[in-house]
């Protein structure tokens, strides 16, 4: 069997092991240390957000943001439906009610119009939502200025899920820097990785200090262990921050490679569409720069001789190549289907006809040959 081509596999640079060796040599093998602080400075510098807390995951970052915004039982939190479950799960950790919002067609992210309807629904039910969580899915920036303007109008803080979009920007301003909080993920499949990890970003220094405090078991300042709040064990280890330091050195190269993947797919599908198919890729909106974490396509069988995205996925699978349907919206998930939803069927339709293509920054010529063979066989 030929080696497996993954949707998005880790791509390590040259410096990571050097940083890790430094952690070992200095015996900083702890959930704090100079590499954690260094990684936080790098993240802050890159995103243009004043402060960053390096954490054990992106999910932990969302959870801490919601805790600091006071999200509790009986609160509403508005969340993009078209996302990965990790965006919504922390709302339930706090016992609050997620209110899901559909996507718009241009960026596939939170629809500002439906967002406003969801806010009005919460207000009519006597509760101001405690947070709005938009996502820049697949590294495509959402209409974040419109979303923030609506949230501001109703005085609701924005927690920007930039887990998939590190390096993407709108008018040159980085995703993750628009809301009260931004969150990043360094899971193994993301554009850069620490094998597992995340970060919380904010311009508010006090909030980031508080996040670090909560993430290290909420230990009060005393010689003994003293606690006046519930804490969490959410800090990133100094060893893993070493991987992060190395990965930050190659982040721009990784973005360049992912954007080249998109162009290569676009070239393939142009040829395929010239043969009577109509497969579409997602263009960037004006003034927006996508990191192209994953290249995605829409394959409407009515416009493609009956060929479905599932047929293409299975053809890839038969060649040991991973492809994955677009994320199934949260309001259609068994665990979330009874919560309020505002929108139409945009996200649902994307899920039904969309596919994520292999998009690693380390695809080689042989991998591409295998991928293109499948594409040109399925779409003859």
Ligand X SMILES: *Cc1c(COP(=O)(O)O)cnc(C)c1O
Least separation in angstroms between residue 139's CB and ligand X is: 10
Give 167 or 375: the residue with its C-beta nearer to ligand X.
167
Contact 52, 40 (CB under 8 A): yes
Residues 6+ apart with CB under 8 A from 296: 138, 281, 282, 326, 354, 355, 356, 357
Query: Binding residue for ligand X (CB under 6 A) from 97, 107, 187, 193?
Result: 187
For the CB of residue 161, give the shortest distance to ligand X in the complex, in Å.
5
Per rule CB under 6 A, count of chain residues that contact ligand X: 14
Q: Which residues contact 267 (CB under 8 A, 6 or more apart)?
A: none
Q: Give the residue among 138, 81, 131 at the shortest CA–CA distance from 111.
A: 81
The b-or-e profile of 185-211 (16+ CB within 10 A means b, else e) is bbbebbbbbbebbbbbbbbeeebbebb
The residues pairing with 216 across neighbouring beta strands, listed in sequence order, are 233
Residue 135 in the binding site for ligand X (CB under 6 A)? yes
Query: Residue from 185, 288, 346, 361 that binds ligand X (CB under 6 A)?
Result: 185
Smallest gap, in angstroms, from Cβ of residue 247 to ligand X?
14
**CB count in 10 Å sphere of residue 27:** 9
With contacts defined by CB under 6 A, name the span among 56-64, 199-207, 277-285, 316-324 that binds ligand X: 56-64
d(CA 71, CA 131): 8
How near is the Cβ of 131 to ligand X at its closest, in Å? Answer: 14
Is 59 among the residues that bind ligand X (CB under 6 A)? yes
Work out how close the CB of 82 gets to ligand X at its nearest, in angstroms, rounded to a whole number. Answer: 10
User: How far is the C-alpha of 101 from the C-alpha of 147, rounded, in Å?
Assistant: 12
Q: Which is nearer to ligand X, 38 or 139 (CB)?
A: 139
Q: Does 163 bind ligand X (CB under 6 A)?
A: yes
Tokens 């993920």 locate to 185
Identity of the residue, 157 or 375, whose beta carbon is nearer to ligand X in the bound complex: 157
For residue 3, give both structure tokens. 């080696």
In the complex with ligand X, which residue's Cβ is closer, 57 or 261? 57
At 235, is the secondary structure helix, strand, or coil?
strand
Of 202 and 304, nearer to ligand X (C-beta) is 202
**Beta-carbon contacts of residue 35 (< 8 Å; ≥ 6 apart):** 19, 22, 23, 28, 238, 239, 241, 242, 244, 245
Q: Which is nearer to ligand X, 84 or 342 (CB)?
A: 84
Query: DSSP secondary-structure letter at 233?
Result: B
Instruction: Please report whether residue 87 would count as binding ligand X according to CB under 6 A.
Output: yes
Q: For residue 157, what are its two tokens?
A: 């803080």
Q: Is 84 in the site for ligand X (CB under 6 A)?
A: yes
Query: Minimal distance in Å, beta carbon 137 to ligand X?
Result: 6
- Contact between 160 and ligand X per CB under 6 A: no
Among residues 58, 90, 157, 358, which is the contact residue for ligand X, using CB under 6 A?
58
Among 68, 161, 295, 315, binds ligand X (CB under 6 A): 161
| Measured distance CA(380)–CA(375) in Å, rounded | 8
Kind of pairing between the strands at 296-298 and 159-161: unpaired
Give 183 or 245: the residue with its C-beta nearer to ligand X: 183
- Residue 172, Ramachandran bin (φ over 0: left; ψ between -120 and 50: alpha; else beta): left
According to the binding rule CB under 6 A, does residue 40 interact with ligand X?
A: no
Figure out which of the listed residues 8, 47, 83, 94 binds ligand X, where binding follows CB under 6 A: 83
304 binds ligand X (CB under 6 A): no
Question: Residue 193 interacts with ligand X (CB under 6 A)?
Answer: no
Q: Whose CA is closest to 13, among 361, 302, 342, 288?
A: 361
> Among the candidate windows 32-40, 68-76, 80-88, 107-115, which touches ligand X by CB under 6 A?
80-88
Interaction between residue 97 and ligand X (CB under 6 A): no
Applying the rule CB under 6 A, the residues between 283 and 302 that interact with ligand X are none
Q: Does 164 bind ligand X (CB under 6 A)?
A: yes
Which positions touch ligand X (CB under 6 A)? 57-59, 83-84, 86-87, 135, 161, 163-164, 185, 187, 198
């Amino acid at each position: 069997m030929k080696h497996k081509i993954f949707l998005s596999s880790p791509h390590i640079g040259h410096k990571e092991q050097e940083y890790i060796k430094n952690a070992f040599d200095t015996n900083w093998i702890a959930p704090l240390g100079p590499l954690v602080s260094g990684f936080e400075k790098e993240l802050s510098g890159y995103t243009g957000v004043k402060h960053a807390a390096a954490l054990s995951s992106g999910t932990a970052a969302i959870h801490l943001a919601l805790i600091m915004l006071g999200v509790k039982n009986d609160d509403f939190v508005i969340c993009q439906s078209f996302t990965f479950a990790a965006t919504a799960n922390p709302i339930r950790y706090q016992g609050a009610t997620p209110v899901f919002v559909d996507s718009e067609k241009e960026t596939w992210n939170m629809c500002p119009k439906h967002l406003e309807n969801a806010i009005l629904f919460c207000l009519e039910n006597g509760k101001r939502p405690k947070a709005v969580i938009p996502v820049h899915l697949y590294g495509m920036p959402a209409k974040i200025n419109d979303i923030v303007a609506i949230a501001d109008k109703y005085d609701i803080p924005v927690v920007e899920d930039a887990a998939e979009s590190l390096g993407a920007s709108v008018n040159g301003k980085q995703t993750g820097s628009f809301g009260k909080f931004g969150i990043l993920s360094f899971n193994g499949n993301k554009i850069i990785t620490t094998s597992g990890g995340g970060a919380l970003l904010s311009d508010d220094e006090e909030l980031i200090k508080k996040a670090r405090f909560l993430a290290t078991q909420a230990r009060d300042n005393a010689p003994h262990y003293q606690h006046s709040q519930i804490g969490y064990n959410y800090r990133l280890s100094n060893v893993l921050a070493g991987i992060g330091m190395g990965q930050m050195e190659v982040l721009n190269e990784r973005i360049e490679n992912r954007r080249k993947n998109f162009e290569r797919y676009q070239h393939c599908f142009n040829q395929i569409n010239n043969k009577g198919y109509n497969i579409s890729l997602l263009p960037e909106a004006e003034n927006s720069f996508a990191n192209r974490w994953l290249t995605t396509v829409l394959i409407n069988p009515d416009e493609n001789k009956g060929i479905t995205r599932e047929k293409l996925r299975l053809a890839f699978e038969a060649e040991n190549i991973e492809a994955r349907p677009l994320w199934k919206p949260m309001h259609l998930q068994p665990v979330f289907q009874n919560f309020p939803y505002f929108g139409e069927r945009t996200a649902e339709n994307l899920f039904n006809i969309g596919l994520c293509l292999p998009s690693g920054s380390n695809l080689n010529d042989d991998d591409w040959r295998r991928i293109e063979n499948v594409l040109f066989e399925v779409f003859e």
